[in-house]
Amino acid sequence: MKDILTLAIAVILMGQTPALAEHATDQHGRVMKHEEGFIAKKGIRDDYTVIFHIMRSPEGMRYSKDQYHLMVVVEKNHKPVTGLQMISKVRHPDGTTEQKPMMRMGEWYMALYNLSHEQGRHWITVQFNISGKKYSAGIYYPEMDFSGSSR
């Protein structure tokens, strides 16, 4: 009970939604910490919020050092929406694109991408259906492009 109270206080103090305060566990039982990496929230129509979390693959796993976890959770009224079929797509700075289905991991959905091979911004989108309506959201990663631009 003390741990639950501590977690609730931390969530309130940090202004995070419940999904960000919890950790996802991968298929091997390893914990993925959502306090690390890039996090962006995007409000979309019908009062849904899409939370994007991008982090380097954890050390010690059999992933390449260039792989990144794209983690996404959809919320409505600060509660996760589960049971979605979600597709992700990345347009890399060189113009190439990749599209992958996302795997469910608790409240989160995940796909692996190489986001380190090109300097510049990657355009990342997700698409999903809820009650027969199609939804999509997108972000740039990183949000600001500092590669080779003259200022």
Phi, psi of 14 (to 5 degrees): -90, -10
Higher pLDDT, 16 or 108: 108
pLDDT at 143: 74
Reply yes or no on whether the pLDDT at 12 is more than 50: no
**Contact present, 65 and 79 (Cβ < 8 Å):** no
CA distance 40 to 52: 5
How confident is the model at residue 120, as a pLDDT? 86
pLDDT single digits (tens) 22-52: 444 444 344 444 446 889 999 999 999 999 9
Structure tokens at 101: 């289905």
Sort 113 into a burial class: Cβ within 10 Å, 0-12 / 13-18 / 19+: buried
pTM: 0.72
Mean pLDDT of the chain: 78
Count of H-run helices and E-run strands, the chain = 2, 12
Please write the tens of the pLDDT for every residue from 76-116.
999 999 999 999 999 999 999 999 999 999 999 999 998 87
| pLDDT value at residue 34 | 46
- Look at residue 144 and tell me whether its pLDDT is greater than 70: no
> Under a CB-based contact definition with an 8 Å cutoff, are residues 68 and 114 in contact?
yes
As a CATH number, domain 24-141 is 2.60.40.3340
